[in-house]
Structure 1
Amino acid sequence: MASSSFQALYSLIRYARGYRRQIITASICSAVNKLFDIAPEILIGIAIDVVVNQQSSFVAQLGVESPAMQITLLAVLTFLIWAGESIFEYAYLILWRNLAQQLQSDLRQDGYEHLQKLDMAYFESRSSGELISVLNDDVNQLERFLDGGANALIQVFVTVIAVGGVFFYISPMIALLAFTPIPVIIYGAFAFQKRAQPLYDDVRRRVGDLSSRLANNIGGIATIKSFTAEKREAAELRRISESYVASNRAAIRVSSAFIPIIRMAILAGFLATLVVGGMQALDGELGVGAYGVLVFLTQRLLWPLTSLAGTVDLYERAMASTRRILGLLDTPVTVVDSTRGEAVSFSVADDIRFNAVNFAYAQAAAPTLRDVDLTIEGGSTLALVGTTGSGKSTLIKLLLRFYDPSSGGITIGSHDIRQVSLQNLRDAIGLVSQDVFLFDGSLFENIAYARPDADREAVEQAARMAEAWSFISRLPEGLDTQIGERGVRLSGGQRQRISLARALLKDPAILILDEATSAVDNETEAAIQRSMVKIRQDRTLIIIAHRLSTVVDADRIVVLEDGKIMESGSHSQLLASNGAYYRQWRVQTGVHA
């Protein structure tokens, strides 16, 4: 288990190699600050030696014979040491804290950018709350360690080395006695680390569960209220929160037991120095000043080790977070972006071809698409219809390269989409989905999301084409109206039309309407139908629909069942064939044989 934490630390150091100079400088400042911090205890012992031995003191042997001058010299040295300690403390605080801020910013940014590159399967197997927990809580936990824990570990190490050197110089025997507890303390720290690591891993998982539940409940507050499930959800949140508390309690129990053990070990070392050193001083084997130095330094050596438990606790929490953060960064990208060749410009004349495409979702019981061969002529309107789960939306996800086919390929014009950059591919496609996502901001900002450089005239034109201007113009603030998170201040139909306007502003060669009218009112459906008359001009239009009334004017209708193409043709041709399309049309129109 301990090796796992060290591996996480090693991985973190490798990640932070761009900050190597800053890390080294900060570490040096921490070490020098601790050396200055130890020095006053040595000067106190030397001052006692001056008072007791005067002309024969240690300082006198350096050529300063007057006791008054010796004390003055020690005062000057004390001032310089305290000033140096303050300067280097300021330096290491600035360096470590800035490093913590810069590194946490880089980790969050790199994590988010890597997250955007992962295919949709990754997001479908994880909750948004869990991912937010990694990018927020875990990054902040690591920041807290870098902010103080790293400096504490360095200073404990420097203290042991520096004080140990002084001890062995003055009295090797007392040094051995004083240092006897240190192996016990170190062993205890490693034992604690071994027991604490799985506990803190569990704590981080519980944080993810808690964040996920809060995100889901806040996003679904309308559903919770409509089902009067407030008490039930509060009870469930309390259960998850109590699990988090229990997980933390287990970790705290282990860390709290470590501190008393360290205190008793420190007491043993201090008593050994006090008693043995005192006896030697009484027998004249050890100078009074040297005895004072040893007593003071024993405190300086052993007392900081009481905070070692807290530092190791912080370290373990940080390494648990580091494993989650770097685990995200190490997640392989399965949909690899192509950067080869020149930029491709797609046009409305380009045909779209699905060539023997097969696809299965991870852990799915059966393939979603089976040997699909489909050509969509450039500039035409194609409708995909079929029962739920027949593979309609999956075809669109493959076209956008949210996933790659298990076998087969997709081309637009003469270009295999796997050989085209994702930027080029997705710039050529506009998507209006059933599940509309709008950002917290103004109507203008949401429509202009497709083209951030668009002016108000272009945005208004897109809104008119999407039949959205009729309601926008009636709002007191027009395009500047704030719509709230996920467009909560708009109706479902209004959100759908804003989504359509956003896609139209992009002016894509290929426009996809994925169930765009399945959850809207008749007025909105009629508005979108009117829009399609203008929309279908000068672009390839792909419509996925359950309502067959919305696709009767399509140039071609393709019927999917169980991932296979069962029928294809115009509305009148499919009705005449008396197949699956005819049966579905009969059910929807209420015409029975």
Structure 2
Amino acid sequence: MSPTNSFHALIRLLRYARGYRRRIIAASACSIINKLFDIAPEILIGVAIDVVVNQERSFVARLGFESAQEQILVLGVLTFFIWAGESLFEYLFQILWRNLAQRLQADLRQDTYEHAQRLDMGFFESKSSGQLVATMNDDVNQLERFLDGGANAMIQVAVTVVAVGAVFFVLSPLIALLAFTPIPLIVWGAFFFQRKAGPLYADVREKVGDLASRLSNNLAGIATIKSFTAEAREAERLRQASEAYVEANRRAIRISSAFIPVIRMAILTGFLATFTVGGMMALKGDLNVGAYGVLVFLTQRLLWPLTGLAQVIDLFERAMASTRRILDLLATPIQVRDDGGQALVEPVRGEVEFAGVSFRYPNSGEGVNDIDLTVPAGNTLALVGATGSGKSTLIKLLLRFHDSQSGEIRIDGQPIRGLSLISLRRAIGLVSQDVYLFEGSVRDNIAYGRPEADEAAIVEAARTAEAWDFIQALPQGLDTPVGERGVRLSGGQRQRLSLARALLKDPPILVLDEATSAVDNETEAAIQRSLAKIGHGRTVIMIAHRLSTIVHADEIAVVHAGRVVERGTHAELLARDGRYAAQWRVQTGALQVEDAPLA
């Protein structure tokens, strides 16, 4: 990342942090005052030398303190207050910067997470979860580390140059010029190393995301890894990702580590100039001895902190690379906007209408074309078709995970784009093939859609989903932990809990996205019994590969290549002898699989 990009990222960060302006100003003011106190003792040392050498003719004597003893006592009192002031403002700037770092990193993480939640599903389908976690966690922590110490260091280096430079030019313009000669070289070196290190640290951040993705994917797929005895292969892949991160860091460290030795030599040049030229001037009487002492001490105070530029720039570059990733995530446009639309008119009957709906995924080009379907309130619509035909896309469009590119979807005659997302999604209960349970108890997962539900409602939902018997058999009943993603439960148990979760929400529209395709026959039968109970008075949209589960649907729509090619009841479609009938014969054993047009 170039210096221009780094400072552009800093400007973007300051714009984001405008609500923290008072805290930033207060912390910066304390850093400045602390540094002014910090350089004052060197000046007092020079003044003390002046008192010892010139006594009644010293600078302090002109302020009304005639005896050398009085002057020394005055300097002692000043020293005490200066050290006390330095300590006080060091405490204050550390408190202010560290609290600011904590507050800003917490708000950044919260804002990025909340923004990510509002992004459409296409964003998550194009990004790895590991990269997103690295951005929200590791990148935010990297910025926190810079605010903890780097921001104060940058301010204090600038204050040192200005304040010490002013003292130098007051005491001896010639020596000031000599002492400041290395500074352009130091600054040039800082920007040179920044320009070299910037892209390297951007690469480091990318490698962190790759490593996080690898860890996240492997831990999520640990059962598959074990079943294929691929532990050694996955360990090697992780080692390669880890080594790539180490190598990226090594390249960045090699550049940043070269900075201090180069700058040290530049500092030596400035110090030797002050030491020798100032000493000659003091010997000739052209420079006060006390002033010479001040200049010698302040030269180190001026130039030595500049070596810290290496670490400061290191922190700055890492932080700005992270900041760019964080703010880029925050700047990702929200495609499916919730502009506070109207609520569904109560009571929601549940009529669903797709009118000329078309949608194409940007990467694959797949989707649906000109879909016209109407599901009367309280009816059941079954969608069947080959994988990738567009069935699940219709469900995603109904839930506004994506917005259709043309056409309109209506619920009870109200276009869903005019509805608030909360009102829309509260009216729909989704039970998908890939059940996701959150870490917590059985109770927590059933009540996920209605956290305020009482136990009687939770138990009733579990009974309706035919999950209550196995819940009672669990060691702690409803309070039994399900583990991460529900790993402590069987697939059938997870599916029944998912159905119970949807039922407790009591939605007027229930969507089953291949909810029985990955369960055993007993669980399928249980779910079918549950659906028979809950289907009355509720609109149900089912996606199914097992045609035996949808024979009682009010209407079946066959989707092929993004279009509805057949519609009717089970009996009507069999009589038509088209795609549906051919697939039915395959599943009932009357036709070879290779002849089935839906497979």
State the TM bucket, normalised to the shorter chain: over 0.9
Cα offset for 1:350?
Answer: 3.8
Q: Secondary structure at the match of 1:511?
A: strand
Name the counterpart of 1:282.
283
Equivalent pair of 1:338/1:418 in contact (CA under 8 Å)? no
Cα offset for 1:213?
Answer: 0.3
Q: Secondary structure at the match of 1:449?
A: coil
Alignment of 1:185-264 (within 5 A): 185-264=186-265
Name the counterpart of 2:522.
523
Q: Which letter maps to 1:455?
A: D
Q: Secondary structure at the match of 1:559?
A: strand
Report Cα offsets for 1:273-307 as digits up to 9, x if no partner: 00001111111111111111001001111111111
Equivalent pair of 1:586/1:592 in contact (CA under 8 Å)? yes
Equivalent pair of 1:348/1:540 in contact (CA under 8 Å)? no
Alignment of 1:58-73 (within 5 A): 58-73=59-74
Report Cα offsets for 1:455-514 as digits up to 9, x if no partner: 111111000000000100111210000110000000000000000000000000100010
Name the counterpart of 1:385.
384
Q: Secondary structure at the match of 1:554?
A: coil
Equivalent pair of 1:346/1:509 in contact (CA under 8 Å)? no
- Hey, what's the Cα distance between the residues in 1 that align with 2:240 and 2:589? 49
Q: Secondary structure at the match of 1:356?
A: strand
Name the counterpart of 1:147.
148
Name the counterpart of 2:576.
577
Provide closer, same or farther for how the CA distance between residues 574 and 347 of structure 1 changes in structure 2, counting only shifts above 3 A.
farther
Name the counterpart of 1:589.
588
Name the counterpart of 1:331.
332
Q: Secondary structure at the match of 1:371?
A: strand
1:166 and 2:167 matched: yes
- Hey, what's the Cα distance between the residues in 2 that align with 1:317 and 1:293? 37
Equivalent pair of 1:346/1:428 in contact (CA under 8 Å)? no
Q: Secondary structure at the match of 1:369?
A: strand
Name the counterpart of 2:300.
299
1:178 and 2:179 matched: yes
1:536 and 2:535 matched: yes
- Hey, what's the Cα distance between the residues in 2 that align with 1:390 and 1:179? 72
Alignment of 1:175-574 (within 5 A): 175-341=176-342, 343-345=343-345, 347=347, 349-364=349-364, 366-574=365-573
Report Cα offsets for 1:172-207 as digits up to 9, x if no partner: 000000000001111111111111111111100000
Instruction: Give the percent of matched residue pairs that are identical in Structure 1 and Structure 2.
Output: 68
Q: Which letter maps to 2:479?
A: D
- Hey, what's the Cα distance between the residues in 2 that align with 1:349 and 1:185? 74
Q: Secondary structure at the match of 2:545?
A: coil
Provide closer, same or farther for how the CA distance between residues 244 and 183 of structure 1 changes in structure 2, counting only shifts above 3 A.
same
Q: Which letter maps to 2:241?
A: I
Cα offset for 1:346?
Answer: 5.3
- Hey, what's the Cα distance between the residues in 2 that align with 1:347 and 1:230? 55
Equivalent pair of 1:468/1:494 in contact (CA under 8 Å)? yes
Report the more deviating stretch, 449-458 or 367-376: 367-376
Equivalent pair of 1:350/1:413 in contact (CA under 8 Å)? yes
Cα offset for 1:312?
Answer: 0.6
Q: Which letter maps to 1:137?
A: D
Report Cα offsets for 1:224-268 as digits up to 9, x if no partner: 000000000000011111111111111111101111111011000
- Hey, what's the Cα distance between the residues in 2 that align with 1:348 and 1:580? 35
Cα offset for 1:566?
Answer: 1.0
* TM-score between both structures, scaled by the size of structure 1: 0.99
Provide closer, same or farther for how the CA distance between residues 579 and 346 of structure 1 changes in structure 2, counting only shifts above 3 A.
farther
- Hey, what's the Cα distance between the residues in 1 that align with 2:93 and 2:349? 63
Q: Which letter maps to 1:406?
A: Q
Q: Which letter maps to 1:387?
A: A
- Hey, what's the Cα distance between the residues in 2 that align with 1:35 and 1:273? 21
Q: Which letter maps to 2:355?
A: N
Cα offset for 1:348?
Answer: 5.2
| Aligned residue pair count | 591
Q: Which letter maps to 1:360?
A: R
Name the counterpart of 2:597.
none
- Hey, what's the Cα distance between the residues in 2 that align with 1:43 and 1:65? 17
- Hey, what's the Cα distance between the residues in 2 that align with 1:3 and 1:208? 24
Q: Secondary structure at the match of 1:432?
A: strand
Q: Which letter maps to 1:345?
A: V
- Hey, what's the Cα distance between the residues in 2 that align with 1:240 and 1:399? 40
Q: Which letter maps to 1:174?
A: I
Cα offset for 1:349?
Answer: 2.7
Equivalent pair of 1:42/1:293 in contact (CA under 8 Å)? yes
Equivalent pair of 2:377/2:537 in contact (CA under 8 Å)? no
Equivalent pair of 1:348/1:378 in contact (CA under 8 Å)? no
- Hey, what's the Cα distance between the residues in 2 that align with 1:350 and 1:532? 16
Q: Which letter maps to 2:199?
A: P
Name the counterpart of 1:112.
113
- Hey, what's the Cα distance between the residues in 1 that align with 2:199 and 2:220? 32
Cα offset for 1:19?
Answer: 0.6
Q: Which letter maps to 1:389?
A: G
Equivalent pair of 2:512/2:541 in contact (CA under 8 Å)? yes
Name the counterpart of 1:26.
27
Report Cα offsets for 1:97-124 as digits up to 9, x if no partner: 0100111011101100100010001000
Alignment of 1:66-81 (within 5 A): 66-81=67-82
- Hey, what's the Cα distance between the residues in 1 that align with 2:346 and 2:253? 60
Alignment of 1:118-129 (within 5 A): 118-129=119-130
Equivalent pair of 1:345/1:424 in contact (CA under 8 Å)? no
Report the more deviating stretch, 207-216 or 534-543: 534-543
Provide closer, same or farther for how the CA distance between residues 168 and 148 of structure 1 changes in structure 2, counting only shifts above 3 A.
same
Equivalent pair of 2:450/2:505 in contact (CA under 8 Å)? yes
Name the counterpart of 2:596.
none
Report the more deviating stretch, 130-139 or 277-286: 277-286
Q: Secondary structure at the match of 1:354?
A: strand
- Hey, what's the Cα distance between the residues in 1 that align with 2:221 and 2:278? 70
Report Cα offsets for 1:542-581 as digits up to 9, x if no partner: 1110000110111111111111111111111111111111
Name the counterpart of 1:157.
158
Cα offset for 1:592?
Answer: 3.5
Equivalent pair of 1:29/1:88 in contact (CA under 8 Å)? yes
Instruction: Provide the aligned C-alpha RMSD in A.
Output: 0.9
- Hey, what's the Cα distance between the residues in 1 that align with 2:274 and 2:508? 84
Structure 1: tracts of 5 or more residues without a match = none
- Hey, what's the Cα distance between the residues in 1 that align with 2:136 and 2:534? 40
Equivalent pair of 1:170/1:290 in contact (CA under 8 Å)? yes
Q: Secondary structure at the match of 2:473?
A: coil
Cα offset for 1:340?
Answer: 3.7
Equivalent pair of 1:353/1:374 in contact (CA under 8 Å)? yes
Q: Secondary structure at the match of 1:451?
A: coil
Equivalent pair of 1:31/1:158 in contact (CA under 8 Å)? yes
Q: Which letter maps to 1:109?
A: Q
Report Cα offsets for 1:416-443 as digits up to 9, x if no partner: 1000000000000000000000011100
Cα offset for 1:444?
Answer: 0.2
